[in-house]
Each structure stands twice: as structure tokens, then as C-alpha cells.
A = this chain, B = another copy of it.
Amino acid sequence: MKKAVILLSGGLDSATCLAVAKSEGFDCYALSFDYGQRHNVELDCAKKIAESFQVSAHSIININLQLWGGSALTDNSIDVPNAEDSHGIPITYVPARNLIFLSFATAYAEVLGAKDIFIGVNSIDYSGYPDCRKGFIDSFQETARLGTRAVDENWHFEIRTPLQNLSKKEIIELGTKLGVDYSLTTSCYNPDAEGRSCGKCASCDLRKAGFAAANIADPTKYI
């Protein structure tokens, strides 16, 4: 069976990505990161999603991007805004995050003998994040080929981005069709201790609007 590495954050998008990989018949190896997020809700969700899709392995890599600050998501001294400015790079951007995540995924794939790496990046809702754009992903794919045994063995990794051009509505429709239990996922920047979503942040707004547009009941627990 073909193997694939899936970057799994615990959010709606990466859960949908995992469902796509499963639907294509891949033997799935999920990879999550403990990078000093403000809360552990995300990783708890990632574990439940990985379990629900019966992945072959789920590894959580501990890295400390908090060391560096620079983002509202890892630096407690920066407030997460309720509504994000749609121009420029958002304060929730974590410097080079997907570059680091994809690099680990490449190393893991090389050791596993997997050639497909799934990442739930999206250009519609996250156009402000440079590391979610197609140009970056394409360039990374070539860099991964050149920096591994792939280059000497004449093959390449496929960085799979099945959500690249989908709206939140379309992502939710796709995942629902593929059996994603979205009650296991989280999107909120400011969840409470029990994992309930604030319903007010930019990420909650996007999620709520997506379920509404898809005309699918939103299973999220809000505070």
C-alpha cells in the first residue's frame, strides 16, 4: 500500500486533508507539532482525528518556536485580534511555520519510503500567509527533491494540497462527503479550558460562515 505523510494540526482543513488521503487509499502517517501553541486543544483534536481515521502512526514532534516569538499564536505578549485586517501579513502568521513542518514531513517521508505529503494549505481564506501560497509549495517540492535521496534516485516528493483552491464552504462539503467528524476539530484562536470555541475570533468567523454557506449543521461547541 502506498504511504503518505499528513500534516495534522487538529483543525478543520487538515482533517479534511487526511480524509482525502484516506479516500485515495493511502496508508496514512500523521504528523503534528507541539510548538508552544497557546493551548493544547489543537493537539487533543489532532489525536482524536488521527484515531477516527485509523492512521498507521501519529507522531507529535516537540519543537519550540515560542523561543522566537513574533506571532500572536506563540507569543503571549501579543493579543489575538477578533477581526483580522485583510491586507498584508496577519499577526497570527508564525514565521516560516509551514517551511519547518514540511521539512520534518519530508524527512519522515524519506525514512518511511513515502512519496506523498499532504498539507491543508489554502489560498482563498489565507492569502495573507506567504507559506500557504502555491508558489511556495511548488518551490518547496523542488527543494525537497534536491535535498534528499530523491534527486539521486530520479523521483520526487509530491506535496499534495487538495484544499488549495477551495472555499471554506467547499472544504466542509468535501470533508462531510468523506466522513470527517468536524466535532473533533478546532479552529478557534481563543478556546476555553474545556476546548470550547470563542465564536468571536477571525478563525471562528470563517468556520461559522463556512458551515452556514454549506448549509451543514455546525457541530462546534461555542462558549
Partner of A96 from the list B98, B139, B142, B147 (CB cut-off 8 Å) is B147
CB of A221 closer than 8 Å to a CB of B: no
Whole-angstrom distance from the CB of A71 to the nearest CB of chain B? 9
Partner of A107 from the list B68, B143, B152 (CB cut-off 8 Å) is B68
Stretch in A13-21, A58-66, A189-197, A211-219 with 4+ CB within 8 Å of B: A58-66
Stretch in A130-138, A166-174, A180-188 with 4+ CB within 8 Å of B: A130-138
- Quick one: copies of this chain in the complex? 2
Partner of A147 from the list B70, B104, B140, B142 (CB cut-off 8 Å) is B140
CB of A73 closer than 8 Å to a CB of B: no
A103-B96 CB under 8 A given contacts A130-B149, A146-B139: yes
CB of A69 closer than 8 Å to a CB of B: yes
Contact between chains at B99 and A148 (CB < 8 Å): yes
Whole-angstrom distance from the CB of A21 to the nearest CB of chain B? 20
| Bound CA span A142–B110, Å | 22
Contact between chains at A130 and B148 (CB < 8 Å): yes
